[in-house]
């Protein structure tokens, strides 16, 4: 497995969990302390910490410590590889859908008149 593939796995794995996606959404408004970020979630501090570790390992957040405050900041560049992967594959998917649409139109035009009248 190459480095890019490993980063993609980490990002998509992190994004697979709805709690982590919500945490990232909340961080789009700016940095938050761990306590502020954890506030709406009904789970233990260790569970919150585990979610934050996954996000940090994926390169999606940065955690800093200043005195007793632990702050989380969104690292949007962590999504760059995932966004590039999706864009790269979207072209192929769109081409396949276009070919499918074309084929379905051809098949519909070839159907006998009796079948068309029953629709």
pLDDT at site 1:
64
Question: Residues 44-91: pLDDT tens digits?
Answer: 999 999 999 999 999 999 999 988 889 999 998 888 888 888 888 888
Q: Compute the distance between CA of residue 50 and CA of residue 98 in angstroms, rounded to an integer.
A: 43
Question: Residues 23-50: pLDDT tens digits?
Answer: 999 999 999 999 999 999 999 999 999 9
SS (H, E, C) the chain: CCHHHHHHHHHHHHHCCHHHHHHHHHHCCCCEEHHHHHCCCCCCHHHHHHHHHHHHHCCCEEEEEECCEEEEEECHHHHHHHHHHHHHHHHHHHHHHHHHHHHHHHHHHHCCHHHHHCC
pLDDT at site 45:
92
Domains assigned to the chain:
1-114 (1.10.10.10)
């Amino acid at each position: 497995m190459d480095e890019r593939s490993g980063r993609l796995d980490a990002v998509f794995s992190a994004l697979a969990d709805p709690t982590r996606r919500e945490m990232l959404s909340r961080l789009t408004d700016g940095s938050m302390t761990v306590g502020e970020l954890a506030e709406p979630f009904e789970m233990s501090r260790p569970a919150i910490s585990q979610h934050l570790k996954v996000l940090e390992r994926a390169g999606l957040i940065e955690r800093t410590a200043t005195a007793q405050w632990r702050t989380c900041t969104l690292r949007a560049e962590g999504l760059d590889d995932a966004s590039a992967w999706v864009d790269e594959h979207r072209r192929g998917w769109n081409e396949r859908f276009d070919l499918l649409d074309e084929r379905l139109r051809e098949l519909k035009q070839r159907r006998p008149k009796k079948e068309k009248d029953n629709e």
